[in-house]
Structure 1
Amino acid sequence: MSVASVASGPAAADARGAWVRRTALILAALALVAATALFSGVRFGLVLAIGLGFGIALEGLRFGFAGPWRAMILRREPGGVLAQLLSIALVSVVAFPLLAAHPGELVGAQAPVGWAMIGGAFVFGAAMQVVLGCGSGTLVNAGSGNPVGLLALPFFCIGSFAGAWHLIWWTSLGALPVLQLEGFGGLGITLAALALSALLFLALAKPGTRRVPARYLVAAAVLAALAIGNLLVAGQPWGVVYGLGLWVAKGVTALGGDLSGSPFWSAAGSAERVRQSVLADYTSLTDIGLVAGAFGVAAWRQGGLSQKLPRYPARAWAATVVAGFLLGYSSRLAFGCNVGAFFSGISTGSLHGWVWFVAAFAGAFLGVRIRPLVGLEARA
């Protein structure tokens, strides 16, 4: 037997194994979407497919929200933040006319600005830098097998449930009415504000770092297309936080718990969603899709799921638990995370999205300093 034939044997086996694995992943994704469409309806199947797209894009293109903010704060590299602003602008150009033309069918991510909202956004910005994952980022990290994401996610869910339970009390501390930018005038103001924000980040950038990487531009376009698809199919913007709290509410009910003591969870809309299948909730479906899509990309890559357990000290894992809970709790008070408040809020004209952005970015400065103090900068 020749050396070439011996060498080609293992290589050919690896290639066949990869082909089988990747084919199985594609078939599993198609089956999941088809089953959801069959049991819940075509629209729900499409929303799950969009969620898978979000997970595939974020993990596949190595794009997110927490990492680019960290890069801007620590290294003054604005590329990722600029791509986020670009993606929001692309969605805005389509979402504003759609919302104006279909006021009864499509809704934006409106929320009031208040003390709890501002404080929640600040805490969220800090907590997401501790675990290096926002709402979508924590789901993607967990789906790809990241140990910190896997630990933070269940506490994120619990925090979201608890934050919703206490939401009415927090909002009673004081809040403005919902302030909404609408129509072409509102679109013009939003695009101008996004452009000014981009210019500010460029002015603060370190010389030689102002170029946006090509994969970030691709990610911005893909996320914008998926977000527009989510708005059209689900009738609401892309969100994350509500679905995570809903899963815990369903679990509490299944264990015999009583949700009547919470004005939020006992409200007609939430109570109905708690009773319904999780596959009938749009936010839950996109959350499931985020996890599954990230898992698929990690499994597609050779050895993508074989992440070693980092050698963090005990205080780092404790901090992950606390930060995970705070991510869920604070994002509920802030009416969303980087996705539901920042991305979807601004792109559909809610002024709370801009306030959230400022407060959360301020919190991120604190978070990047807390992270090394709790031992999360160690490497495996």
Structure 2
Amino acid sequence: MTAVPMTDAGRIAPRLGLIAGAVAVIAAVSVFAGARYGLLLTIGLGIGMTLEGLRFGFAGPWRAMILRRDPSGILAQLLAIGLVSVVAFPLLAAHAGELVGAQAPIGWAMAGGAFVFGAAMQVVLGCGSGTLVNAGSGNPVGLLALPFFAIGSFAGSYHLLWWTDLGALPILVLQGTSGLVVTLILLAVVAAVLLAVAAPGTRRIPGRLLWAAGIVAALAVGNLIVAGQPWGVVYGLGLWVAKGAQAVGMDLSASGFWAAPGNAARLGASVLTDVTSLTNIGLIGGAFLIAAWRTGGLSQPVPKLPARAWVATVVAGLLLGYSSRLAFGCNVGAFFSGISTGSLHGWVWFAAGFAGSMIGVRLRPWLGMEGRA
């Protein structure tokens, strides 16, 4: 029997159900955790819908630049970072006691972690936000990588202090008007370099990416204002596993990271009051909404990959989590939020992560994840 395609009229009820379900979840979080947390979930949903709906991401555009000299996606990322910077720098200066930037020290573990992350994200074609979005949209590789990403994040946090003891500079931050000007100049220089080496016909940002950059920037600023900190991904994933480990009797007091007062408090609190967890849940949910809206359901087929490709997905997921914790974030928490709030570690992360991506794109054919060139 041949399946009958669902008509637009036949999709009205399921789509209304999707909208009603999203509103109900936001309302429930607002009632049980507070309006602030319901708003953060809404921001996460908005980001997830934008990333999936307008195909705005990080791993794919970096791959396009490396393989085809197409900088359009990275230019959109730089534009979004610049837009956030213009708002975030004055906000941080005016509300120093209420808002904090994504600040971290530059060190051996940080740079090495960013390099490994860059390679691993190309293996699974998803960074931190990308893995969440891929899983939410039903992508089998993303669904497999995500739980191992979370496990790796927990393991990296457990060992973080040992790695940071290898040596790091003090936290270096660009601040105020002069810091904003320097940040914008650096973004422009990177954009100019990308344009100089771009292949013909790739030097313009497509309209959908211009819209996506503006929406993501607005939502990222909203996250900074509502959460009091920039948009991040990695911490929430590690927290989920830490809560699970604690629930089965694991003593986390031996970890300097999880024994720290702030982290210990989050272990004892509801996940619905952790700002990073809420936006992560929102990213997954937003991607699900867009994918289900398009197709009436999640129907991505399982790709026919060799066993070594599935093993590589598991290993890459673990490395994504572990390395991003050492690097103080992924493309979102370190690159995007770090640079847009003035932390110089974001620039080092960008350089090291891009270098790692150059290795990662060459690993995919060898791992059987795509045809050899």
Q: Give the shorter-chain TM-score range.
A: over 0.9
Between the aligned partners of 2:6 and 2:140, the Cα distance in structure 1 is: 30
Partner of 2:364: 371
Partner of 2:190: 197
Partner of 1:270: 263
Read off the aligned partner of 2:97 and give its amino acid letter. Answer: G
Indicate whether 1:236 and 2:199 are aligned. no
Between the aligned partners of 2:296 and 2:313, the Cα distance in structure 1 is: 25
Between the aligned partners of 2:4 and 2:150, the Cα distance in structure 1 is: 43
Whether the 8 Å contact between 1:312 and 1:378 is mirrored in structure 2 is: no
Indicate whether 1:300 and 2:293 are aligned. yes
Partner of 2:172: 179
Residue 54 of structure 1, aligned match among 40, 47, 55: 47
Between the aligned partners of 2:315 and 2:201, the Cα distance in structure 1 is: 37
| Structure 2, gaps ≥5 residues long | none
Q: How many corresponding residue pairs?
A: 370
Q: Which string of whole-angstrom CA distances, capped at 9 and with x for unpartnered residues, describes residues 293-334 of structure 1?
A: 000100000255111110000000000000000000000000
Between the aligned partners of 2:4 and 2:105, the Cα distance in structure 1 is: 58
Q: How does 1:130-145 map to 2 (within 5 A)?
A: 130-145=123-138
Between the aligned partners of 1:253 and 1:157, the Cα distance in structure 2 is: 15
Residue 254 of structure 1, aligned match among 243, 247, 252: 247
Q: How does 1:75-224 map to 2 (within 5 A)?
A: 75-224=68-217
Between the aligned partners of 1:281 and 1:351, the Cα distance in structure 2 is: 26
Indicate whether 1:227 and 2:220 are aligned. yes
Between the aligned partners of 1:133 and 1:246, the Cα distance in structure 2 is: 20
Indicate whether 1:349 and 2:342 are aligned. yes
State the SS of the aligned residue for 1:308: coil
Between the aligned partners of 1:34 and 1:165, the Cα distance in structure 2 is: 34
Q: Which string of whole-angstrom CA distances, capped at 9 and with x for unpartnered residues, describes residues 85-137 of structure 1?
A: 00000000000000000000000000000000000000000000000000000
- Name which of structure 1's ranges 128-137 and 252-261 shifts more when overlaid on structure 2: 252-261
Whether the 8 Å contact between 2:14 and 2:296 is mirrored in structure 1 is: no
Partner of 2:18: 25
Greater Rg, structure 1 or structure 2?
1
Between the aligned partners of 1:295 and 1:17, the Cα distance in structure 2 is: 19
Q: Which string of whole-angstrom CA distances, capped at 9 and with x for unpartnered residues, describes residues 206-253 of structure 1?
A: 122111111111110000000000001111000000000000000001
4+ residue stretches of structure 1 with deviation over 6 A? 10-13
Residue 313 of structure 1, aligned match among 287, 306, 310: 306
Compute the displacement of 1:358 (Å).
0.3
State the SS of the aligned residue for 1:306: coil
Over the residues paired in the alignment, what is the CA RMSD in angstroms?
Answer: 1.4
Compute the displacement of 1:354 (Å).
0.3
Between the aligned partners of 1:32 and 1:98, the Cα distance in structure 2 is: 30
TM-score by length of 1: 0.96
Compute the displacement of 1:11 (Å).
9.0
Between the aligned partners of 2:191 and 2:297, the Cα distance in structure 1 is: 34
Partner of 1:328: 321
Whether the 8 Å contact between 1:144 and 1:304 is mirrored in structure 2 is: no
Compute the displacement of 1:15 (Å).
3.1
Partner of 1:6: none
Read off the aligned partner of 2:213 and give its amino acid letter. Answer: A
Indicate whether 1:281 and 2:274 are aligned. yes
When residues 12 and 151 of structure 1 are mapped into structure 2, their CA distance, relative to the original with a 3 A threshold, is closer
| Structure 1, gaps ≥5 residues long | 1-9
Read off the aligned partner of 1:218 and give its amino acid letter. Answer: W
Q: Which string of whole-angstrom CA distances, capped at 9 and with x for unpartnered residues, describes residues 328-351 of structure 1?
A: 000000000000000000000000
When residues 270 and 174 of structure 1 are mapped into structure 2, their CA distance, relative to the original with a 3 A threshold, is same
